[in-house]
Amino acid sequence: QKEVEQNSGPLSVPEGAIASLNCTYSDRVSQSFFWYRQYSGKSPELIMSIYSNGDKEDGRFTAQLNKASQYVSLLIRDSQPSDSATYLCAVNRGNYGQNFVFGPGTRLSVLP
């Protein structure tokens, strides 16, 4: 079992819809969780971090964490074509940054 798993996609949603991206992780001691966005040919950009169970909202983005089920998700409301990118889930298994693990990424395509 891979440490961090994501559906590779592509996930296609129409403009204005809600895009739902999911991520599962295997290590129960994981402490913190992140979502990065990577446009083609560019480096990843941090868009959300979440540390405790529940929802965290930032603009059109909502991160959801459920440690008991070992999953973290990212919802993008009112999806725009500019949201089309690969979304990487990352899990930090330690207190600090020494145990960062990235998922393979989900490619999102928002259709105008």
Q: Reduce the DSSP state of residue 6 to 3 states and report it.
A: strand
Among 12, 51, 55, 66, binds another protein (CB under 8 A): 51
Strand ranges in the chain using DSSP code E only, listed in sequence order: 4-6, 11-14, 19-25, 32-38, 45-50, 54-58, 61-66, 71-76, 85-92, 100-102, 106-111
Total residues interacting with another protein, rule: CB under 8 A: 22
| 84 touching another protein, by CB under 8 A | no
Q: Does 10 bind another protein (CB under 8 A)?
A: no
Tokens found for residue 90: 């990352």
* Cβ-based nearer residue to another protein, 12 or 14: 12
Q: Is residue 39 part of the contact set for another protein (CB under 8 A)?
A: no
44 binds another protein (CB under 8 A): yes
- Binding to another protein by residue 102, rule CB under 8 A? yes
